[in-house]
Structure 1
Amino acid sequence: MKTLLLIRHAKSSWNDPEMDDFDRPLNKRGKENAPEMATRLLSRGTVPELIISSPAKRARSTARIMAKEWKYPKEAILLEEELYLCYASTFLKVITKIDDDFNAVAIFAHNPGITDFANYLTEEIRIDNVPTAGIFAIEAETDHWEEFDRAKKRFLFFDYPKSEVF
């Protein structure tokens, strides 16, 4: 079994309209939500063995904050250029390259790609929007990431900072 955690970056700052989108940092709420969501994931008994992130500052920062809560070394976070503002199909390209030794993987990325990909993965639920710091989890009945797309999948949970249920 392989578990995939799709995590949207936490809330970012729009204080500097001149700043390049790629370089936007997290705002105060984002810095508070990221560790909260990491802790919620821990309470579910799920901890990623591998973290892959978009290299954009807000995604990288979210990954690092959550990694700290999970006692995952920030130096081990893989930055994947293709995850910056990508399409749903790009996620599959990244996933098929994951080493089969890892059974639980977190991917930090952006909308609209992350919402589109979450909806692609399951017919059980439809998500209008993965909010900032939101986590969508799914399990695939396979031992090989290369087979992830074709494998039977089971929706595990969808959680986000303002969620009432968790």
Structure 2
Amino acid sequence: MEFIQTKLTGSFIIEPKILRDERGYFMESFNERLFQEGIGDRISFVQDNQSASVKGVLRGLHYQTGAFSQAKLVRVLKGEVLDVAVDIRPDSPTFGQHQAVLLSEDNQRQFYIPKGFAHGFVVLSETAIFFYKCSDFYNRESEGGILFNDPALGIDWKLPEADFILSEKDRNLPLLSNARPAW
């Protein structure tokens, strides 16, 4: 595995080593020792989540606050998504900046998003199965979110906004300037 530090300190794109032959492919998708060495931190994952979505579904931008803040390791099992992390750490030099990563069943990339980031994705293929590991359990009282099209973030979601399929909750999230603090 190759760990590529993004412009947002602490977040990494993880390129797997894929062994392909006439039978298909083999890859190691997670190895705790290599993962912790690669990110330079000891993270334990306690919950795995999976979602299935159709083209245009946009989920996010979500995060957990305080003691329930979550680091995430995300990947796509089927299809293709544009995955986005937004730095919401108040003292970070990259506060309010985002990193977008194309994740697909073809490239098998993973994206590590540390605590203190909002996260979301949009499905670019006809369907997608999205899988992620979380470092803490979900806690409803600790939910936070930011509106996907906040002009201050300047995220290019790669699809026309008219094509998005959003939950009512995601459609009504606040702007970053009014969002719940991460800590």
TM-score range, shorter chain: 0.3 to 0.5
Q: What is the TM-score when the length of structure 2 is the normalising length?
A: 0.33
Which structure carries more strand by proportion? 2
Q: What is the TM-score when the length of structure 1 is the normalising length?
A: 0.36
If you compute each CA radius of gyration, which structure gives the higher value, 1 or 2?
Answer: 2
